[in-house]
């Protein structure tokens, strides 16, 4: 009966497109591509492989601009990761025995393996290297395989470190998001990954271990499922594991559909494109109504994608493409008519606002739970970052903070001298309590919700309370 309903639904529903439908919409998508290109050609913005991937996966191109961007990427990444692993090693790094490798799957040469072992003092950068390798696979014509070999070896090494970390600590050293990107990139390069490494990801998927406090798991789950789908499609695993990967993919897709919000989003607006890639990669974007609703929700909210990083994450699905398409890119007749345009500036706002800035630290770590609680006056259009700057300049309460540049923008790393530590999985979480009174000494429990944008993009309203909370993820 259930099967009959599904078949009937597929027959009755008009087949939907995977890309954003309609001419007016196509123009909006083209404008977003052009805006991303505008940010890409700005030398002030560091090169980001996700941006390159979005440009390459688009329907329309500026081939010269893309070539120049690739050169910038190579300058930044080849230098960082392209040197031999041995050269990257600190002289007195203490080697630790690696867990046994699956002889059939591990492709390391003995020399590579020795180099890998001795490079273990380095903290793995699985995600960034994976994105760069995905970018290299998307170039036209494809680059010489020679120089890529050491990068692939290095990525395998990082993934091994992450895998070993996950056995030791219960989670990869980086994150399951980066771990999944690592598996995906190796798969797109048609490199085998040890079965145990894949199984770690499957176990995490099965036991819902992708989440971290206060944030949705959608982005990570989606990247993991893209990796599963790739491994199965590229036939890089045996029949039994392929069947298990298929089952995991079906399970994850069902969960995503069940958790789709009334607003049409999977998770939030920024994780939705990742979830949609799963439907594209598994060829269900044309028949799954949830995909169509999500596409409609995205198109209603294109204004939320203002930074290069977020634009780069949404554009592939607006063009109906997933990262799996990188494996089968063809370099023929790419339309070369895309022209860069400048960024949309936020509307100018006159006047001032007052926001309350609160800094909290867990009681176990700090003798005093609330370290700072002051009203801060700022111009009406100020971002949270501007508010922090005003707070730092206003006396006599000695507010200090620091940020770290990332591809997503400035990441709040230190507040009042307390540095969040990646290796201890602590971070400064940003929360808002929009309807609280500036005079209230205590916030009602549950009044605060995490922000879905960073310090540079969030523009608080007059009377809003912003909380910076040292948290674990
Ligand atoms: C893992 C993760 C985290 C981890 C990162 C820790 C770690 N060492 O891995 C933690 C929990 C710390 C985190 C924090 C936050 N995150 Co986060 N995060 C992610 C996730 C799932 C993967 C990022 C990643 O590894 N990328 C791959 C690597 C290779 O790229 P990378 O640029 O080197 O990644 C680094 C930066 O992205 C940075 N980072 C992570 N999140 C954010 C968010 C912002 C705004 C900035 C500037 C940097 C940043 O940490 C990464 C690892 O070092 C993405 C999902 C996604 N779709 O991108 C969300 C994502 C980037 N995060 C998001 C948000 C909103 C946040 C927070 C603002 C949440 C909050 N309310 O506090 C905070 C940042 C606060 C701050 N201090 O500035 C949004 C950003 C949306 C946007 N508009 O830009 C995303 C897209 C999730 C989502 N769907 O909403 N995040």
Ordered by start, the domain boundaries in the chain are 16-328, 352-472
The CATH architecture assigned to 352-472 reads Beta Complex (2.170)
Contact by Cβ (8 Å): 196, 157: no
Atom of ligand 1 nearest to the CA of 126: 29
**Count of other CB atoms within 10 angstroms of residue 223:** 27
Query: How far away, in angstroms, is 409 Cα from ligand 1 center?
Result: 10
Bridge partners, residue 449, by sequence: 432
pLDDT of residue 213: 54
Contact by Cβ (8 Å): 38, 341: yes
Contact by Cβ (8 Å): 203, 176: no
- Rg of the Cα atoms in the chain: 23
Closest CA to ligand 1's atom 86: 270
Mutate to test the pocket of ligand 1, among 411, 420, 466 (most ligand atoms within 8 A of CB): 411
pLDDT of residue 148: 86
Atom of ligand 1 nearest to the CA of 427: 12
Closest CA to ligand 1's atom 35: 406
In the structure, which protein residues have their CB atom closer than 6 angstroms to any atom of ligand 1? 127-128, 131, 174-175, 177-178, 212, 219-220, 267-268, 270-271, 274, 307, 310, 313, 406-412, 422, 427-430, 450-455, 457, 473
Contact by Cβ (8 Å): 17, 292: no
Structure-block tokens of residue 354: 């007052």
Query: How far away, in angstroms, is 165 Cα from ligand 1 center?
Result: 20
Query: How far away, in angstroms, is 407 Cα from ligand 1 center?
Result: 10
Structure-block tokens of residue 374: 């002051």
Atom of ligand 1 nearest to the CA of 130: 29
Per-residue pLDDT of the chain (473 residues; tens, 9 = 90+): 444 434 444 444 445 679 888 887 889 999 999 999 999 988 888 999 999 999 999 999 999 999 999 999 999 988 788 765 555 444 333 333 333 333 333 344 433 443 444 444 568 999 999 999 999 999 988 888 777 888 999 999 999 999 998 888 889 999 999 999 999 999 999 999 999 999 999 999 998 888 765 566 999 999 999 999 999 999 999 999 999 999 999 999 999 999 999 999 999 999 999 999 999 999 999 999 999 999 999 999 999 999 999 999 999 999 999 999 999 888 778 899 999 998 888 888 899 999 999 999 987 777 788 899 999 999 999 999 999 999 999 977 789 999 999 999 999 999 999 999 988 889 999 999 976 665 556 666 667 899 999 999 999 999 999 999 999 98
The fold for domain 16-328 equals Glycosyltransferase (1.50.10)
Query: How far away, in angstroms, is 425 Cα from ligand 1 center?
Result: 13
Cα distances from 237 to residues 87, 142, 199, 221, 231, in angstroms, run 33, 25, 11, 20, 6
pLDDT of residue 257: 96
CA angle 322–324–326, rounded 5-degree value: 95
Distance from C-alpha of 294 to C-alpha of 300, rounded to nearest angstrom: 10
pLDDT of residue 165: 87
Atom of ligand 1 nearest to the CA of 125: 29
Closest CA to ligand 1's atom 6: 422
Cα dihedral 124, 127, 133, 136, rounded to 10, equals -130
Distance from C-alpha of 245 to C-alpha of 217, rounded to nearest angstrom: 19
Q: Considering only CA atoms, which of 341, 334, 306, 292 is closest in space to residue 57?
A: 334
Atom of ligand 1 nearest to the CA of 420: 77
Place of tokens 């997933």: 322
pTM value is 0.90
């Amino acid at each position: 009966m259930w099967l009959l309903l599904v078949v009937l639904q597929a027959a009755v529903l008009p087949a939907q497109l995977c890309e954003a439908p309609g001419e007016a919409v196509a123009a909006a998508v083209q404008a977003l591509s052009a805006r991303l290109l505008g940010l890409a050609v700005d030398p002030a913005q560091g090169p980001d492989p996700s941006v390159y991937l979005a440009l390459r996966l688009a329907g329309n191109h500026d081939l010269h601009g893309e070539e120049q961007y690739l050169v910038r990427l190579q300058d930044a990444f080849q230098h960082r990761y392209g040197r031999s692993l041995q050269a990257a090693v600190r002289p007195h790094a203490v080697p630790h025995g690696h867990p046994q490798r699956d002889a059939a799957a591990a492709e390391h040469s003995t020399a590579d393996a020795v180099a890998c072992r001795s490079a273990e003092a380095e903290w793995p950068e699985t995600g960034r290297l994976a994105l760069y390798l995905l970018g290299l696979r998307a170039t036209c014509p494809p680059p010489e395989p020679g120089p890529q070999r050491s990068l692939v070896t290095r990525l395998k090494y990082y993934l091994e470190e992450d895998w070993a970390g996950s056995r030791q600590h219960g989670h990869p050293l980086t994150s399951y998001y980066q771990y999944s990107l690592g598996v995906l990139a190796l798969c797109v390069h048609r490199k085998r990954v040890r079965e145990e490494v894949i199984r770690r990801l499957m176990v995490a998927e099965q036991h819902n271990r992708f989440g971290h406090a206060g944030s949705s798991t959608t982005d990570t789950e989606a990247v993991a499922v893209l990796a599963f789908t790739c491994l199965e499609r590229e036939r890089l695993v045996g029949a039994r594991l392929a069947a298990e990967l298929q089952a995991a993919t079906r399970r994850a897709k069902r969960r995503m559909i069940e958790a789709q919000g009334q607003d049409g989003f999977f998770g939030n607006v920024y994780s939705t494109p990742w979830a949609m890639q799963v439907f594209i990669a598994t060829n269900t974007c044309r028949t799954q109504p949830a995909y169509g609703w999500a596409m409609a929700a995205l198109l209603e909210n294109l204004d939320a994608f203002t930074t290069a990083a977020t634009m780069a994450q949404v554009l592939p699905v607006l063009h109906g493409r997933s990262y799996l398409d990188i494996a089968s890119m063809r370099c023929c007749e790419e339309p070369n008519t895309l022209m860069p345009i400048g960024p949309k500036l936020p509307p100018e706002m006159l006047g001032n606002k007052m926001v309350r800035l609160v800094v909290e630290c867990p009681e176990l770590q700090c003798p005093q739970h609330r370290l700072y609680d002051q009203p801060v006056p700022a111009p009406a259009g100020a971002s949270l970052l501007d508010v922090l700057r005003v707070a730092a300049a206003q006396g006599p309460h000695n507010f200090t903070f620091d940020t770290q540049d990332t591809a997503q923008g400035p990441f709040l790393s230190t507040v009042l001298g307390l540095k969040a530590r990646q290796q201890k999985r602590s971070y400064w979480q940003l929360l808002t309590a929009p309807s609280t009174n500036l005079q209230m000494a205590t916030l009602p429990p549950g009044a605060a919700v995490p922000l879905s944008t960073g310090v540079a993009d969030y523009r608080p309203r007059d009377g809003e309370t912003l909380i910076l909370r040292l948290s674990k993820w």
